[in-house]
């Protein structure tokens, strides 16, 4: 390996450096076989046996690349390539856990593109001034344990590791006992690893880039998010003999909340969105008025003031629904993140780098939450998006064309080089 950047021959320019697309695609395919489900999808929930197998495979690639690997108390894995100078690394990465019916690109692409960049630097004998690290964070999806983006939140010191370890999953087991079971309880204290800069490469998971004909998204920030679970309690009674005006129908109450959330987003307009993604009704019988219902409401906005306004409006609407139907409605917060604004300098660097590679670029916020949003308080941070076919993600039909994957990885390569030299 060369000892300094100036030893590069005059016939070679860092700006000419490109990743190996086929090697990246091969790794994406290999990782996708772990937890593979029908129609090309992937189910690799956090801290399951499948997640362990995925972690083991990625860690084996990190070792092959000669990286120094550390694991912290929440199971975040950081692999570092030394620089000419010691100090905090320029970091990239994402996550490798998936939702139950996920695809092969969400999260995984950002991690494996980082490894591909390391491989490219190694084979071209390029050593950067600052270290470069590739990380994957525990439980980004939140599909098994709450809150989502858990690992990166703990990594940045924003969420106590003790709270994370005692989080109980949908199967009744805890994060801590599952980390122990799969052998990924690390010794590095959480919040103790400084980062010089962080850049996350990700598929868009939305339709904007494809519909508007852009090849790269220079992500300006992440929407704020408010997740709440509501429990609606009424009175179970006969569906045929109970007059409508004498009912206390928990099923109706839950449905009214769902409609209110939809109308709220439409009324507020702008970047406000609202989703009811889960709803259950008990006793769940066709001829019985529901006694209890539970549902989730997901509110998001790029502006914190607007998000708080949306939360207040939902509270008012839900109180009115409870009074009108004679219901008891309680709630608990599942997650709450303020909107994040990314570093202007790195956003500009992403834009100029992509344009320099002849790629069209759109400045845009992220509608989804990402690890980068939790790292942003501790280091200058930004994201790079590549198009998602038909805007589909968290779905077995998730797809990004190989050329778009290559474009994104090459932009990330050049951005990391400029930050690390």
Three-state secondary structure call for residue 224: strand
Question: What is the predicted pLDDT for the residue at 8?
Answer: 42
Q: Provide CATH code, domain 14-223+339-420.
A: 3.40.630.10
Are 219 and 297 in contact by the 8 Å Cβ rule? The answer is no
- Residue ranges of the annotated binding site for Zn(2+) are 95, 106, 141, 202, 394
Query: What integer best gives the mean pLDDT of the chain?
Result: 95
Q: Is the pTM of this model over 0.85?
A: yes
Q: Using one digit for the tens of pLDDT, what is the confidence trace for 127-160?
A: 999 999 999 999 999 999 999 999 999 999 999 9
Fold of 224-337: Alpha-Beta Plaits (3.30.70)
**Domain residue extents for the chain:** 14-223+339-420, 224-337
Q: Which residue's entry shows tokens 């494996």?
A: 112
Q: How confident is the model at residue 1 (pLDDT cuts 50, 70, 90)?
A: very low
Exposure of 1 by Cβ count < 10 A (0-12 exposed, 13-18 middle, 19+ buried)? Answer: exposed
Alpha helices in 97-199 (DSSP H): 108-123, 150-155, 161-165, 175-182
Per-residue pLDDT at 187 exceeds 80: yes
Q: Using one digit for the tens of pLDDT, what is the confidence trace for 302-340?
A: 999 999 999 999 999 999 999 999 999 999 998 898 999
Question: What is the predicted pLDDT for the residue at 10?
Answer: 38
Alpha helices in 136-198 (DSSP H): 150-155, 161-165, 175-182
Upstream peptide bond of 238 is cis (omega within 30 degrees of 0): no
From CA 418, how far away is CA 112, in angstroms rounded? 20
Question: What is the predicted pLDDT for the residue at 367?
Answer: 87
- Residue ranges of the annotated binding site are 95, 106, 141, 202, 394
Per-residue pLDDT at 3 exceeds 60: no
Question: What is the predicted pLDDT for the residue at 12?
Answer: 61
Q: Using one digit for the tens of pLDDT, what is the confidence trace for 52-95?
A: 999 999 999 999 999 999 999 999 999 999 999 999 999 999 99
Q: Which residue's entry shows tokens 């490798």?
A: 96
Question: What is the predicted pLDDT for the residue at 183?
Answer: 98
Give the CA distances from residue 202 to residues 50, 82, 277, 307, in Å, rounded to whole numbers and listed in that order: 22, 25, 23, 25
Question: What is the predicted pLDDT for the residue at 13?
Answer: 86
Per-residue pLDDT at 6 exceeds 60: no
Are 10 and 16 in contact by the 8 Å Cβ rule? The answer is no
Domains 14-223+339-420 and 224-337 alike in fold: no
């Amino acid at each position: 390996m060369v000892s300094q950047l100036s030893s590069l021959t005059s016939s070679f320019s860092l700006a000419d450096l490109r990743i190996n697309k086929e090697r990246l695609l091969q790794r994406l395919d290999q990782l996708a076989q772990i937890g593979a489900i029908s129609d090309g999808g992937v189910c690799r929930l956090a801290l399951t046996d499948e997640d362990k197998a995925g972690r083991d495979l990625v860690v084996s690639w990190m070792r092959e690349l000669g990286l120094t690997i550390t694991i912290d108390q929440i199971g975040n894995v950081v692999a570092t390539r030394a620089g000419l100078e010691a100090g905090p690394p320029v970091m990239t990465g994402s996550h490798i856990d998936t939702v139950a019916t996920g695809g092969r690109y969400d999260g995984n692409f950002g991690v494996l593109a980082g490894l591909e960049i390391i491989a490219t630097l190694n084979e071209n004998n390029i050593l950067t001034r600052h270290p470069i690290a590739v990380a994957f964070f525990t439980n980004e999806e939140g599909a098994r344990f709450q809150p989502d983006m858990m690992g990166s939140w703990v990594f940045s010191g924003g969420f106590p590791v003790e709270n994370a370890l005692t989080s109980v999953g949908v199967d009744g087991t805890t994060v801590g006992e599952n980390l122990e079971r799969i052998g990924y309880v690390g010794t590095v204290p959480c919040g103790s690893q400084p980062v010089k800069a962080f850049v996350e490469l990700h598929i868009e998971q939305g339709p904007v880039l494809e519909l508007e004909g852009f090849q790269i998204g220079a992500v300006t920030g992440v929407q704020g998010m408010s997740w709440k679970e509501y429990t609606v309690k009424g009175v179970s009674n006969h569906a045929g003999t109970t007059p409508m005006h004498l009912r206390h129908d928990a099923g109706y109450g839950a449905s009214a909340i769902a409609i209110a959330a939809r109308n709220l987003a439409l009324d507020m307009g702008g970047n406000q969105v609202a989703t009811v993604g889960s709803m259950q009704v008990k006793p769940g019988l066709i001829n019985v008025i529901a006694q209890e219902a539970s549902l989730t409401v997901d509110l998001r906005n790029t502006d914190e003031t607007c998000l708080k306004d949306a939360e207040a409006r939902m509270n008012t609407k839900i109180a009115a629904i409870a009074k009108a139907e004679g219901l008891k409605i309680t709630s608990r917060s599942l997650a709450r993140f303020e909107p994040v604004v990314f570093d202007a300098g790195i956003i500009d660097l992403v834009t100029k780098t992509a344009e320099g590679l002849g790629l069209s670029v759109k400045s845009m916020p992220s509608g989804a939450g990402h690890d980068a949003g939790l790292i942003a308080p501790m280091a200058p941070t930004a994201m790079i998006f590549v198009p998602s076919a038909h805007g589909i993600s968290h779905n077995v039909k998730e797809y990004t064309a190989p050329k778009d994957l290559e474009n994104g990885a090459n932009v990330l390569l050049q951005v990391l080089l400029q930050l690390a030299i």
